[in-house]
Structure 1
């Protein structure tokens, strides 16, 4: 009977260690997959125009949005959205990983999604 309890305890410890290992591998690879998928989704977007409105869309989890002159609205990341002003021009070409911001017809900033998602991954891994 005592020998059985020892084997059950060892099996239980092994199962707990195995579950922890599976959790960590899944957690780390899941984040990598999430950011790759998010980058691919952003690469497929295409939009351009003059910004006529900046707003927070409460129906979309408080997503920062820009509305263009041709009545199209697009979501943007907070850090880039903060830099944009009404009257600025934005150009995002399908297949590219960056967005160009023009102020007074001059290129003022390039927002690179690859760098953005890489920074998010690094911040997440430090926690």
Structure 2
């Protein structure tokens, strides 16, 4: 009986170790997409979403159910209306952190703040 418990314990460790890590960006505009890392559920893959509206290029990243991968959908605004605000194409991949592009790879809020402050200081010294 101890062998069965050991096999189950090893199997559980293997299952926990198989969780897919992805970059997450809830909403990015043009080339700016501030990301963090997230862990997907077992029936999800990483995705990059690119949407085009009349004026903006919208980006998203994260985990997505496999059944919703590689599809384009219209996003209405407000959600209850029939007016399409933009069209979003979500492309999936299934290896850790594979959804790094498009956008700023691995950019965190802190690193973007540091770049912004550095740029402002550099511009201040040039003037």
Whether TM exceeds 0.5 here: the answer is no
- TM-score tier (shorter): under 0.3
TM-score, L = length of structure 1: 0.27
Return the structure number with greater strand share. Answer: 2
Q: Which has the higher contact order (CA 8 A, sep 6+)?
A: 2
TM-score, L = length of structure 2: 0.27
Return the structure number with greater helix share. Answer: 1
